[in-house]
Chain A
Amino acid sequence: MKPAPFEYHAPTTVEQALSLLAEHGYDAKILAGGQSLIPMMNFRLAQPAVLVDMNNIPDLAFIKAGDDGLRIGAMTRHYQVETSDLAAEHAPLIHATMPKIAYPQVRSRGTFGGSISHADPAAELPTLTFALDAKFRLVSLRGERWIPAREFFFGLFTTALEPDEILAEASIPPLPPHSGWSLQEVARRPHDFALVGAAAVLTLDANGRCEDARLVFLSVGDRPMFAERASDLLKGQEVTPEAIRAAAELASTEEIDPSSDIHASVDFRRHLANVLCRRAIEQALERAKENKE
């Protein structure tokens, strides 16, 4: 058999799952959609002693809208977000991106919380939740805590989650009026992990000046790469072509940390980041101008 042996548990409530994690600690691994973990187990790169399967916990799969925005349960499958009218209305950037995430078969199983907890720096959802200023509810037998996406991602496949904690849900706040968004990516084949991705979320004030900006990149560092200085550069001024160029230049030269592999060199990734950042700001700006609500 491909994977190494493990002890398997399929709890039906969050409490049962948390008890198992408290009992087994670092020996336990959470199985959500399995679309990243099971390949690693098939290669025996991952050999967890204990597997806690979350797929039989219905309480963790939901999409709800309220005054505080959209709440997506961790075990909500990608295809459920992709086909959700609530997601389209309340988190259009997330909704528009779902079809770009892997393939139909993977979206049938892969989960929202699984992708975020896995924290692959090439994945879309960590970067998008960061750019949208989402926060995550983490629960353990010790209690629960909310943590902003911008404080959640520590590094390669590493997050703020303690071994006895699970990510229960993500809360995505509504964007203010005059806001726009964009995700621009380049991949070798559509749906593959992107060589580089650039997300832009912009909010304009009543005079059309940039009130808030968040530029966040994927695949160019060990986590979602927030170009904070480039984002600040846009704030308080009119978003002119010159301002866009300056922000993209700063972000792509100083605020990302790409590496070379067989698909792209560092220089090429920086070039892509520059171009994609520019396009992302431009499209976000267009949407912000149209979005008057």
Chain B
Amino acid sequence: MESTAQNLFELAVTVNGTRYERTVEPRMLLSDFLRHELDLTGTHVGCEHGVCGACSVLMDGRPVRSCLMFAVQANGHEITTVEGLGTIDNLHPVQKSFQEAHGLQCGFCTPGILTTVVAFLEENPDPSEEEIREAISGNLCRCTGYQHIVDAVQLAAEKMK
């Protein structure tokens, strides 16, 4: 990472398998970097202070809130956003399960929940309902009451066995 005269930083980050190099101000949040610099608007921005979980992405496979990181801190790391999980024609099993089990209504919280759940099921392929609720405890959803989300995660766990 190189510092330039105006306190700008050149960073190189791998997002969804593609390497990007950009020059940014250090105060740029990772969430804004993904959306504004890389046009990856699947990552949603809700509260921007670490409460809602909508902006959750994976860094080196672990869920993080992208509004509570500066983009420069992702230098040299691998980020996975919802765009990296599946495509319209080839949904990730977790995405497919959310579709089938009605795990979303308005969809605003969904990208953050999907990335969080993908990492969770890799770590815990056969979770209990309580473990699922723990895993998504950092993600607010104002539509579903969570029940269908829990159902969708259970369905995804079944599919991925």
Residues of A within 8 A of B (CB): 1-8, 10, 34-35, 38-39, 41-43, 51, 53, 55, 79, 99, 102-106, 108-109, 189-191
Contacts and interface: CB of A to CB of B under 8 A. Distances in A.
Interface in B1-48: 1, 3, 7, 9, 25-29, 32, 48
Nearest to A35: B68
Nearest to A1: B27
Given A8-B9, A108-B63, A35 B27 contact: no
Contact of A105 (B28, B32, B63): B63
Given A2-B29, A8-B26, A103-B137, A108 B62 contact: yes
Contacts of A105: 53, 56, 63-65, 116, 138
A6 B8 CA distance: 11
Q: Which of A42, A51, A53, A189 has the most CB of B within 10 A?
A: A42
Nearest to B62: A108
Q: How many interface residues does chain B have, given as a range? A: 20 to 34
A109 B116 contact: no
Q: Which 10 A-B residue pairings sit nearest by Cβ, starting from the closest?
A: A103-B138, A8-B26, A39-B49, A108-B62, A3-B27, A38-B68, A105-B63, A105-B65, A105-B138, A108-B64
A1 B69 contact: no
Contacts of B48: 2, 42
Given A10-B72, A106-B65, 9 more contacts: A1-B27, A38-B70, A55-B73, A99-B134, A103-B53, A104-B135, A106-B68, A108-B64, A190-B134
A1 to B, nearest CB: 5
B102 to A, nearest CB: 24
Nearest to A99: B134
Interface in B53-111: 53, 56, 59, 62-65, 67-70, 72-73
The main secondary structure of chain B at its interface with chain A is mixed
B138 A102 contact: yes
B69 A34 contact: yes
A51 B9 CA distance: 14
A103 B27 CA distance: 24
18 contacts: A1-B28, A1-B29, A2-B29, A2-B32, A3-B27, A6-B26, A34-B70, A35-B68, A38-B67, A39-B68, A53-B70, A53-B73, A104-B116, A105-B116, A106-B65, A108-B59, A108-B62, A189-B137
Interface in B102-141: 116, 120, 134-135, 137-139
Given A10-B1, A42-B49, A105-B65, A5 B25 contact: yes
A109 B25 contact: no
B137 A191 contact: yes
Nearest to B8: A8
A109 B65 CA distance: 9
Contacts of B69: 34, 38, 109
A84 B137 CA distance: 22
B134 A106 contact: no
B65 A6 contact: no
B53 to A, nearest CB: 6
A38 B135 contact: no
Q: Which of A34, A38, A55, A79 has the most CB of B within 10 A?
A: A38
A51 B3 CA distance: 14
A106 B138 contact: yes
Contacts of A41: 27
A109 B62 CA distance: 9
B73 A106 contact: no
Contacts of A108: 59, 62-64
A225 B161 CA distance: 48
A114 B9 CA distance: 25
